[in-house]
Structure 1
Amino acid sequence: MEYLRWKVEDAVAIVTIQRPPANALSRGLIIEINELLDAVENDDTVRVIVLHGEGRFFSAGADIKEFTEVASGAEFSELASSGQQVFERLETFPKPVIAAIHGAALGGGLELAMGCHMRFVSEDAKLGLPELQLGLIPGFAGTQRLPRYVGVAKAAEMLFTSEPITGVEAVQWGLANKAYPVDELLPKTLEIAKKIALKSPIALKTAIQMLQYNKSESFHEGVKAEAQSFGTVFESEDAKEGIQAFIEKRQPSFKGK
């Protein structure tokens, strides 16, 4: 694989995202995540997956420059839908998937982490959905998963302000399980993962299936609506301005068109 590398220790697959400098989510990376799941799903030597990022970040968001290559809102909606399917597969995967988040998990990076069953963070990590800063909305089910973890009011605050929260705040808000000093994050996460790997695979698989019953029909309807809206908003003049401003590293000037 080009963007992922992985190894197995004590029945734990340690998966590293390596797409410098920011481990930005691209179509290719999302495809590789799906291929990784194909590889480990029926591998009896793997009982738990730990996902983390190489370098300074977990994943600082989607590849914005790749957005400029998208020709239409319909194509943008399809991009969102394909990403949603992979992250939904993560959440329903029959083996526990744990995210170890340091540096930043922003935009698509946080949406990837929210698709995992558990999230451990460094105390100084930054977690957020800054898409509105670009004149866009989250497209990988972020508008639907975030309120399930932090509640509607906190989700609205994160979405509307585009301001990230710290790893400590993420634990306080219910978005993450535990926060550690950055140098302890991966060792502590692996320690927990290896304890989980000692559990019955049948029981773990069944527990994951049972957790899915907390999803309402409105969640699935919302995910579909998000993908469609992702494309609709992409076609606005504000979105074009926001993306261009991001690339040019300046503040956007939105006109409401």
Structure 2
Amino acid sequence: MDEPVVLVERPAAGVGLVRLNRPRALNALNGPLMDGLMDTLAEMDRDSAIRCMVITGSDRAFAAGADISEMAQATPAEMIEMAFIARWERLRAIRKPVIAAVSGFALGGGCELALACDLIVASESAVFGQPEINLGVIPGAGGTQRLARTVGKALTMEMVLNDRRLTAVEAERFGLVNRVVPTADYLDAAVTLASQIAARAPVAAQAAKDAVNVALETPLAVGLAYERNQFYALFSTEDQKEGMAAFLEKRAPSWQGK
């Protein structure tokens, strides 16, 4: 029997880990893999025991791109019908924080998948790029948009027009990744970060994630209004009362996620 295209683990309290599992194809993102990934993330999002998620691949490849064999002969109508890009968009609906643990190739759709996550922990061997120009197309799952908002116009233009690829160190310098660690340690580092986030107030973490994303997508005045409303709304939660009581009583809070 074929191996599952995604492997699921719970490596620490409050943490769900999803591993892309098409090693022979360098985790090329085909329909079944993306469906399996997004279905798993949605299930974890509904699981109150999980408060932060990690997506990873292998040491050699996070994901080397989309599976070109699925689309090489497709028409525009067929691409729309197969809802290829919509699979990436499902990640936007995940409420809880998602970390990409990236080693090796993160190219094309793989780079876009990492960009769609909330944080990125990279191994020293990680390579990020958008080489779609070599195939006669452009990034279609957010590459031009999220890259420009992250690393700026000049570098984005070079990446999408001339296949410039970023090493892990360059990606950290340009603000694309949160941290770079040795390849032997990158997944442990991502799980540790996820564990730290999972230990925070869950409802507030989701509100914080939403507010930061709104900052990237709206004018400042709209973002400030959204942030203010989220801030006030959190005063209706049990966690706000617990967090402030614990601070005043000089003890650790006990979050309930309510």
Corresponding position of 1:139: 140
Secondary structure of the residue aligned to 2:185 is: helix
Q: Distance in 2 between matches of 1:7 and 1:18?
A: 13
Corresponding position of 2:180: 179
Label 1:55 to 1:167 Cα distance change in 2 as closer, same or farther (>3 A).
closer
Quote the offset at 1:56 in angstroms: 1.6
Label 1:85 to 1:211 Cα distance change in 2 as closer, same or farther (>3 A).
farther
Is the counterpart of residue 89 in structure 1 residue 90 in structure 2?
yes
What stretches of structure 2 of length at least 5 have no aligned partner? 220-258
Quote the offset at 1:87 in angstroms: 2.9
1:4 to 3, 6, 25: 6
Residues 1-257 of structure 1: matches in 2 within 5 Å?
2-8=4-10, 9-21=12-24, 22-54=26-58, 56-70=60-74, 72-79=75-82, 82-216=83-217
Name which one, 1 or 2, has greater alpha-carbon Rg: 2
Quote the offset at 1:145 in angstroms: 0.8
What stretches of structure 1 of length at least 5 have no aligned partner? 219-257
Conserved? CA contact 1:13–1:49, under 8 Å: yes
Conserved? CA contact 1:24–1:60, under 8 Å: yes
Amino acid at match of 1:24: A
Secondary structure of the residue aligned to 1:15 is: strand
Q: Distance in 1 between matches of 2:119 and 2:172?
A: 11
Q: Distance in 1 between matches of 2:130 and 2:98?
A: 21
Q: Distance in 1 between matches of 2:174 and 2:216?
A: 20
Quote the offset at 1:140 in angstroms: 0.8
Q: Distance in 1 between matches of 2:146 and 2:80?
A: 18
Give the share of equivalent positions with the same residue, in percent.
Answer: 37
Conserved? CA contact 1:124–1:168, under 8 Å: no
Secondary structure of the residue aligned to 2:47 is: coil
Quote the offset at 1:174 in angstroms: 1.0
Amino acid at match of 1:60: A
Q: Distance in 2 between matches of 1:34 and 1:47?
A: 16
Q: 1:34-67 CA distances to partner (integer Å, 9 max, x unpaired)?
A: 2112211210111110110035210000111112
Conserved? CA contact 1:92–1:208, under 8 Å: no
Quote the offset at 1:164 in angstroms: 1.2
Deviates more, 1:94-103 or 1:35-44: 35-44
The root-mean-square deviation of aligned C-alpha atoms, in Å, is 1.8
Secondary structure of the residue aligned to 2:64 is: coil
Conserved? CA contact 1:52–1:100, under 8 Å: yes
Amino acid at match of 2:96: K
Conserved? CA contact 2:17–2:55, under 8 Å: yes
Corresponding position of 2:243: none
TM-score of the superposition, structure 1-length normalised? 0.79
Conserved? CA contact 1:150–1:174, under 8 Å: yes
Amino acid at match of 2:122: V
Q: 1:2-31 CA distances to partner (integer Å, 9 max, x unpaired)?
A: 211111121100111001220000011111
Conserved? CA contact 1:168–1:179, under 8 Å: yes
Quote the offset at 1:189 in angstroms: 1.2
Conserved? CA contact 1:51–1:99, under 8 Å: yes
Label 1:84 to 1:212 Cα distance change in 2 as closer, same or farther (>3 A).
farther
